[in-house]
Structure 1
Amino acid sequence: MNSILWIMQTQAQAPEDDEWLSPTERRLLTGLRFPKRRLDWRLGRWTAKRALCMLLAQAEPARVLLEEKHAQLLRDLPGDCTPETAMAAFELRAGATGAPEMFWRKQPLALALSLSHSEGSCVAALAPEAWPLGCDLEAVQPRNALFLADYFTSAEQALVLSAADAEQPLLTNLLWSAKESCLKALRQGLRRDPRSVEVQLSAAAAPAGWQQFTARCHETGRKFHGWWQPLPGFVLTLVTHHITSPPLELSL
């Protein structure tokens, strides 16, 4: 497999009940005091588990990602992998760096997972375990000059300012989203200065509306290859460490 797999879900798609959460997740949920935090926390887990169930319902991608290390999982789960029969057996935990990790019956799953929330929506991305993976969903909104100066390199600022006024919100949020995806792939997040990652866009379009970009972390020398796509009200970016085919949206 040579594509990142992804899915987007909204608050309206997450069930009202909590039966699809594991017992540990239900206990953690009761300890979250603030409503927005509770909603985002639930939606992240719903989206990640939904992505995994959709993956397992598709024999070929699941075999490529999971069969070598998790043959028992593929044998034990029902073919339809519905929330009622499977989701509570999966558990999402924060790893040592804060990045999400998926467990099945308290055993870590050998796959890469990245999550991003924005304005009541969430994206989950899946890839082979060895891939550094990052995804980011960003609402397209105006950003001021101070934002550019604080977070963008001089080359990125020049790129935004050279664009037409109507194009600048999408371009600014695209570059910011690409940086966030790369920082997630580095397992650093915003603990690292976003200006340490410089993004370069490609003019070449790909199937299904995807376009490519590259990024380099100046502090580590690591290079990332990414894809981006505009969605209604948002921009989505996905990155890993090598050139891939366009991302594939998971569906049943």
Structure 2
Amino acid sequence: MRAIQVSWTETALPGSGTPLPGGGAVTIEWLPIAQVRGDYAAAPAAYRAHYLAPAELPVLSRIAVPKRRVEWLAGRVAAKRLVCLALERAGLPVTPSELAVLGNKPGGRAGKPELSSRTPELAGTVGRHVTDISLAHTLRFAVCALAHGGRVGVDVEPLRSFSPALRRTVFTDREVALAETAFQAFDTGHRGTALWVVKEALLKAYGIGFAYGWGTARLRAADSAAGVFDITLPAGADPGHRVSVRYGRVTDHIFAIASVAPRPPDGHQQKGQLRAWD
């Protein structure tokens, strides 16, 4: 396990191109699931043709449960709206169907959403403006975070209280105590949820989620401005130069956005790695 120092700040939901303390900038799309469900139901073929790339269509068709299908689709819509808007502002218009968002193959970044494009030239263009994306959803919202510089992870959960049994399963007694002191902006019953979304966003930024179990990330020490996490990283993974988390509340949800700034040898910001379709 690696010990990682994480700065954190309670904040409003970052807007377009908001600089992050850990390096780079992040843009957020917060999309109601009901909106996607209604638009898709009204014209399924046209909606698929507008938003989905050829590589994504078989994935959608394999999702048998309608609720899951809409949640998957909403994540792709949120991501593509962000990427297309970023490119449009740079004078480089791209249609959503020219981009694909698929889960990575098993490995060091298993499950990390991977953004790909129709051609190597387009991949290079997008890579200059997008270095990472992360997706999350609840029953009500799909959320995408887009980073320009470094890596990003996002998580969102409804405000809820963890049962004693669930707390014992996912947290140590020390983590429960630390959450009580570190997240005092939330009601006592919701501080466990705050710690959960912070952990999940952090692990998503590294591309591993809880791949190694609930103990993948453990909060060892914390104060109101920073925490020390012991994190199990894949072999050879770069822990980054600076790590930060912004968290807060939107409607009846808690969100967290983690930023991992790279540690390039030449002192310049790492470029995004974006591939073209196979």
Distance in 2, matches of 1:144 and 1:90, equals 41
Is 1:93 aligned to 2:102, yes or no? yes
Identity of aligned residues (%): 22
Look up the equivalent residue of 2:114 and give its one-letter code. E
Return 4-13 or 172-181, whichever deviates more. Answer: 4-13
Cα displacement string for residues 175-203 of structure 1 (whole angstroms, at most 9, x for unaligned residues): 00111111212222121233342346664
Kept in 1, the 8 Å contact 2:25–2:148? The answer is: no
Query: What secondary structure does 2:55 align onto?
Result: helix
After TM superposition, the score normalised by the length of structure 1 is 0.73
Match of 1:105 among 115, 118, 131: 118
Map residues 191-206 of structure 1 onto 2, 5 A cutoff: 191-199=211-219, 203=224
After TM superposition, the score normalised by the length of structure 2 is 0.66
Query: What secondary structure does 1:7 align onto?
Result: strand
Q: How many aligned positions are there?
A: 211
Look up the equivalent residue of 1:29 and give its one-letter code. L
Is 1:3 aligned to 2:41, yes or no? no
Distance in 2, matches of 1:90 and 1:219, equals 32
Look up the equivalent residue of 2:138 and give its one-letter code. S
Query: What secondary structure does 2:210 align onto?
Result: helix
Distance in 2, matches of 1:92 and 1:134, equals 15
Distance in 1, matches of 2:209 and 2:98, equals 29
Cα displacement string for residues 36-72 of structure 1 (whole angstroms, at most 9, x for unaligned residues): 221111111111111112222333xxxxxxxxxxxxx
Kept in 2, the 8 Å contact 1:153–1:195? The answer is: no
- The Cα of 1:121 is off from its aligned counterpart by 0.8
Cα gap change, 1:219 to 1:23, in 2 (>3 Å):
closer
Is 1:184 aligned to 2:184, yes or no? no
Corresponding residue for 2:49?
A: 19
Is 1:114 aligned to 2:127, yes or no? no
Corresponding residue for 2:153?
A: 134
Cα displacement string for residues 140-182 of structure 1 (whole angstroms, at most 9, x for unaligned residues): 1121112222112332211346789x81232111100111111
- The Cα of 1:215 is off from its aligned counterpart by 4.8
- List runs of 5+ in structure 2 lacking aligned partners: 1-18, 41-46, 263-278
Distance in 1, matches of 2:29 and 2:157, equals 15
- The Cα of 1:35 is off from its aligned counterpart by 1.1
Cα gap change, 1:31 to 1:195, in 2 (>3 Å):
closer
Match of 1:217 among 222, 226, 230: 230
Kept in 2, the 8 Å contact 1:91–1:106? The answer is: no
Query: What secondary structure does 1:38 align onto?
Result: helix
Query: What secondary structure does 1:4 align onto?
Result: strand
Query: What secondary structure does 1:57 align onto?
Result: helix
Distance in 2, matches of 1:215 and 1:13, equals 39
Cα gap change, 1:240 to 1:217, in 2 (>3 Å):
farther
Distance in 2, matches of 1:202 and 1:230, equals 20
Corresponding residue for 2:260?
A: 241
Match of 2:248 among 213, 217, 229: 229
Q: CA RMSD in A?
A: 2.8
Distance in 2, matches of 1:195 and 1:154, equals 13
Cα gap change, 1:215 to 1:9, in 2 (>3 Å):
farther
Look up the equivalent residue of 1:6 and give its one-letter code. I
Kept in 2, the 8 Å contact 1:40–1:120? The answer is: no
Return 186-195 or 218-227, whichever deviates more. Answer: 218-227
Kept in 1, the 8 Å contact 2:136–2:142? The answer is: yes
Distance in 2, matches of 1:237 and 1:190, equals 16
Is 1:144 aligned to 2:174, yes or no? no
